[in-house]
Amino acid sequence: MSADDIEHVTVIGAGSMGHGIAQVAAMAGYDVTLRDIEEEIVKDGYENVEWSLGKLDEKGHLEESPDEILARIDTAVDLEAAAAPADLVIEAAPERMDLKKDLFADLEAYTHDEAILASNTSSLSITEIASATDSPERVLGLHFFNPPVKMDLVEVIYGAETTDATAETGYDWVESIGKTPIYVRKDVNGFVVNSCLGPFGDEAAWMVSAGEAEIREIDAAMVHRRGYPMGPFELADLTGIDIGYHVRKEAGKPIPPIVEEKVEREELGRKTGRGFYDYDEGDGPDYEIGDGEDVDTLRIEARMINEAAKLVGDGVATPDAIDTGVRLGAGFPEGLCRRADKIGLDAVLEKLTELQDEYGADRYEPADHLVKLVDAGETGEDAVAGFHDYGGEADEREYHAIDWKLDDRGVLAVELDRPERMNAISADLMDEIVDLLERVDVEEIRCVTFEGAGDRAFSAGADIGGFASVEPTDVMDVSPMFERVNDFPRPVLARIDGYCLGAGLELALACDLRVATSDSAFGCPEITLGLIPGGGGTQRLLRILGETRAKELVFRGNHISAERAENWGLINRAVPADEFEEVVAAFVDDLASGPPIGLKVAKTVMNEGENASLEAALALESQGFGLLMGTDDVREGTMAFAEDREPEFEGS
């Protein structure tokens, strides 16, 4: 069975995960049956879907009405009736192996022979679940993250006997519902994301248990110095300290004393009012910037990187899959393998060896793959190779924060590819844009477009976490990215759909033209952080908007609508979403079919003339006009006009 053959999806379990998965499938156009053991549970799940769809509709995030989507969802209590029409079954029942095995044995009997049977388990063995069936080849894991409606990642997990055809169908189906799948090619405990995330809390807990650091110090260091969205103890309190405890216990791993103490005292985190922080009588996580200046953050990251190396070396997942997984599933500021390459794999190996010598614990034993890479001299970015490759031409280099393509018309389309962080501008993203624009052959390009991945933002600003460890002196010069875009010798257009804020707005301002959907929003929120725009925003806004409006935008830090942005002259067009592609295409067609030399000279004269006196600017214009008079493009344009046809400019 292929993904195209899937028409009906049955979800077993109407709890938070089950009803979320059912909603996502129905929103993607599938007929869905939502089943649980009691009518009241199913009713609650359906009502949660109804409420969620209503909220999404209020925000304009649905392409259909809630009623149309709900009409595709049936509910059931009888398992056989629920399973019978299914082409794909996704089990989201409680995490008990005996229960899941009983369910899968029944599901195999109740479904047709080609139906795919999937478990949403986050911790149990797919191989063991499949052993309850006579057709384990059609069993796989589809591990959604909570909440399924918001979280983009789905791990597609092989059991020992899962066929490639089954896994590929599962992967394609996940893409069909608008989610991002990653393959987990072997049934390992924790799969990909939780395997890599485990040492984040585990090693931090060992450090506190040994008196080597304080809870607040570690959380502050990992958030403010290393850019993680939460500290390890703050995260444990959110998810439940007992959850991590039971995962370690079931896996037969040593448990840090501080974790055992919290479980014994039933101080399990937010849900009990107290965990590593006090939520009843205290303020919860109360760490501050500067609290963790002396914390050895590499000790924690080295263990996570070591887990990633094990996954790669054992053929469980690729570096790209791991990086996608931790970004989308755990909210990491960048991929773990990518970060490892920046740190240097030799430094990581040295840290693990040092820790193993000091403590003699198995958790520090370096992965064979990590040792192999270091022995081969593939230690990361500085060595041009590590987990990832950093060499080659533009069409060979591996970019992680952007995607790009050059079509046969000469249109270079660049996509900011960080949708999980609303395409926030990171140091890596800026470096990759500069690298791309320096490597491409300008003679092959007629124009450039920039857009943001996903449907929420062009770019919502700078990735504050990504700049967490940057020294002030390192950012006192304007990033070459903004100037490289501004000075690129071809017209550059920003395709804006969603938020365009802070550094994202500064990137759009560096472009020559800006077209936006009418639902987009613009602003300079830096002042709310005690900062000012640092990518040329203050100066470009002055020149585009004038002093009054530029200062309002910068001083107040508020958002303005696309309509106001168009009225102010900040953007060229604000158009309804259903007209956006057509309007952008018209702009791009004019740029791609225009005279390359003429457009280059026009851009140069206008950019340089902006800062010159009128007399000097007019002289620039005259020089440019004279230079163009002798070109083949001018002759072609003149002849085409006389012959009443469209010109065909060659750029000569």
Residue ranges in the chain whose pLDDT is less than 50: 394, 473-476
Per-residue tokens: 355: 């820790």
Instruction: Give strand ranges (E) for 112-261.
Output: 116-119, 139-144, 153-158, 180-184
Of 329, 548, 584, residue with least CA distance to 451: 584
Per-residue tokens: 348: 């990581």
Q: Which letter does DSSP use for residue 364 in this model?
A: G
375 and 313 in contact (C-beta within 8 Å)?
A: no
Residue ranges, comma separated, of all CATH 3.90.226.10 domains in the chain are 402-585
Query: Can you give the pLDDT at residue 465?
Result: 61
CA distance 607 to 651: 21
Of 81, 2, 75, 3, residue with least CA distance to 44: 75
299, amino acid identity: R
Which pLDDT tens digit goes with each residue over 446-456?
999 999 998 88
22 and 73 in contact (C-beta within 8 Å)?
A: yes
As its CATH architecture, domain 3-184 has 3-Layer(aba) Sandwich (3.40)
CATH fold of 595-642: Lyase 2-enoyl-coa Hydratase; Chain  A, domain 2 (1.10.12)
Task: Tell me the C-alpha to C-alpha distance, in Å, between residue 303 and each of 57, 197, 330.
Answer: 43, 10, 16
Helix (H) or strand (E) run with residue 386 in it: none
Query: Can you give the pLDDT at residue 599?
Result: 87
Which residues are tagged catalytic? 122, 143, 155, 194
Helix (H) or strand (E) run with residue 114 in it: none
484 and 437 in contact (C-beta within 8 Å)?
A: yes
For residue 515, what are the β-bridge partners?
Answer: 495, 573
User: Model-level pTM greater than 0.85?
Assistant: no
Of 97, 106, 98, residue with least CA distance to 35: 106
Which pLDDT tens digit goes with each residue over 238-257?
989 998 888 888 788 899 99
Domain 191-222+244-306+332-390 has CATH 3.40.50.300: no
Query: Can you give the pLDDT at residue 638?
Result: 80
431 and 414 in contact (C-beta within 8 Å)?
A: no
Which pLDDT tens digit goes with each residue over 54-73?
999 988 788 899 999 999 99
Query: Can you give the pLDDT at residue 345?
Result: 97
Residue ranges, comma separated, of all CATH 1.10.12.10 domains in the chain are 595-642
Query: Can you give the pLDDT at residue 471?
Result: 54
Out of 3.90.850.10, 3.20.20.70, 3.50.7.10, 3.90.226.10, the CATH code matching 402-585 is: 3.90.226.10
Of 204, 205, 206, 168, residue with least CA distance to 185: 168
CA distance 181 to 158: 13
CA distance 503 to 630: 41
Residue ranges, comma separated, of all CATH 3.40.50.720 domains in the chain are 3-184
185, amino acid identity: R
**152 three-state secondary structure:** coil
Q: Which letter does DSSP use for residue 380 in this model?
A: B
15 and 34 in contact (C-beta within 8 Å)?
A: no
415 and 401 in contact (C-beta within 8 Å)?
A: no
Which pLDDT tens digit goes with each residue over 379-394?
998 998 999 988 765 4
